[in-house]
Amino acid sequence: MQKTMFMPNFKYTNQIVNHLSKIVVAREVILNSPLVPKWQVALRKEAIIRSAHSSTSIEGNRLNISQVSELAMGRDIMALRKDKQEVLNYLKVLENLGQLVSESGITEENILKIHKMLTVDTLDKPSDCGSYRNRYVVVANSMTGHVIFRPPSNEAVPDLVRNLLAWINAEETQELDPVIESGIAHYELVRIHPFIDGNGRTARVLAALLLLLRGFDTKQFFCLDDYYDSDRPAYYRALQTVNPETRDLTEWLSYFVEGVMVSMNAVKEKVIHLSSERLKVSAKGQVALSDRQMKIVEHLNRYQFIAVGDMVKMFQITRQAALKEIGKLVELEVVRLVGQKRGARYILA
């Protein structure tokens, strides 16, 4: 049996580094945008619904996004009991994600509990819920029967999971970019394949949980599962790029990091729009800002600051006209001036 701690094998490529840089920019925009509470709640709810739909859909669930939304609102729908239960289970896990860990970090008990919550009332044998597999399984093509992947033996599973968790909770791992850590944990749990069923869902929840715990997706705004579900063959191909002998995760991580970037950018664009919308209408219901002023606000939501020269270039206007546009935003206390002379910039108030 494996006794040493799990140690991932991968390297940073230019593509991975480039994507990570873009993720940082998108995340800063999202976290610093002045969203009103109702929009924050709506974004989180939408992300949870889309995640529940996509993650279960990947594994064959037949409910569409509208049906998942109905279940999320507590309404019943006409569908197979198992399909409904899988989605309800996933929704419950995501809605309570931050509470599914111990103070000392993620434990073996946490993983087993998450699996049990995801699979309760959906497996043929209730005893398989929240328990490691006690019979051997392989991953095969449902159409051809061709074996795609042979996981480790049943006996090896407990130690492999413990070794993975030891790595996740190690101090050295905390120094990794949370996106990289999340991608590594996602793949390794899929490789171990510790359960009879529900391995993919458990791995995707673990990835989301790590992003939450490491302070990356603190508001649960983005849905990575949509990226997987949009091209399932690409998701499975990416998982299969890892050589069983070398276990080099570089290609898988390149795919995973790109998915986070695409998903974060989608949220960023939505947040920019919502943050700008909140300033369109005054308390009396009248349009408060001009089109140019709205574009200035959108620029600030994207880049955090703007200079008079930026506005001159954006709108092809004089400095005097630019100062007039920004002047109204200062009067309305939407923006404020920082710095002096050549260093003068405007930021959101």
Give the C-alpha separation, 106 to 101, whole Å.
5
- 195, amino acid identity: F
Q: Provide the sign of the torsion angle of the four alpha carbons 9, 15, 16, 18, taken in this order.
A: positive
Give the C-alpha separation, 279 to 297, whole Å.
8
Give the C-alpha separation, 261 to 255, whole Å.
10
Instruction: Give the number of C-alpha atoms closer than 13 A to the C-alpha of residue 167, restricted to the C-beta side.
Output: 19
Specify whether the backbone of 338 is left (phi greater than 0), alpha (psi in -120 to 50) or beta.
Answer: beta
- 272 close to 45: Cβ distance less than 8 angstroms: no
Instruction: Give the number of C-alpha atoms closer than 13 A to the C-alpha of residue 138, restricted to the C-beta side.
Output: 9
- 336, amino acid identity: R
Q: Is 152 exposed, middle or buried (0-12, 13-18, 19+ CB in 10 A)?
A: middle
Q: Look at residues 110, 111, 128 and name the one whose alpha carbon lies nearest to residue 119.
A: 128
- The dihedrals phi and psi of 348, each to the nearest 5 degrees, come to -65, 135
Give the C-alpha separation, 10 to 32, whole Å.
32
Helix (H, G, I), strand (E, B) or coil at 336: strand
Q: How far is CA 137 from the centre of its chain?
A: 29
- 329, amino acid identity: L
6-29: buried (b, 16+ CB within 10 Å) or exposed (e) per residue? Answer: bebebeeeeebeebbebbeebbeb
Per-residue pLDDT of the chain (349 residues; tens, 9 = 90+): 445 679 999 999 999 999 999 999 999 888 877 766 567 777 888 899 999 999 999 999 999 998 999 999 889 999 999 999 999 999 999 999 988 988 878 999 999 999 999 999 999 999 999 999 999 888 776 667 777 788 999 999 999 999 999 999 999 999 999 999 999 999 999 999 999 999 999 999 999 999 999 989 878 888 999 999 999 999 999 999 999 899 999 999 999 999 999 999 999 888 887 776 665 544 444 445 677 887 887 787 777 789 999 999 999 999 999 998 898 888 877 788 988 887 888 987 7
- In the DSSP assignment, the letter for residue 98 is G
> Which DSSP helix (H) or strand (E) runs through 187?
helix 178-192
| Bridging pattern class, strands 335-338 and 345-348 | antiparallel
- In the DSSP assignment, the letter for residue 224 is S
Instruction: Please tell me the pTM assigned to this model.
Output: 0.80
Helix (H, G, I), strand (E, B) or coil at 331: helix
Q: Provide the sign of the torsion angle of the four alpha carbons 169, 173, 178, 180, taken in this order.
A: negative
DSSP code per residue over 20-71: HHHHHHHHHHHHHS---HHHHHHHHHHHHHHHHHHHHHHTT----HHHHHHH
Structure tokens at 97: 């994600």
Give the C-alpha separation, 335 to 348, whole Å.
4
Q: Look at residues 272, 185, 186, 168 and name the one whose alpha carbon lies nearest to residue 228.
A: 186
- In the DSSP assignment, the letter for residue 27 is H
Q: What domains can be seen in the chain, in order of their start residue?
A: 14-273 (1.10.3290.10), 291-348 (1.10.10.10)
CA terminus-to-terminus distance, the chain: 59
Give the C-alpha separation, 278 to 286, whole Å.
12
Instruction: Please give the pLDDT value at position 278.
Output: 61
Instruction: Please give the pLDDT value at position 2.
Output: 45
Give the C-alpha separation, 334 to 328, whole Å.
9
Q: Look at residues 31, 48, 50, 34 and name the one whose alpha carbon lies nearest to residue 216.
A: 31
Question: Residue 7: CB partners within 8 Å, gap ≥ 6?
Answer: 167
Structure tokens at 41: 């709640």
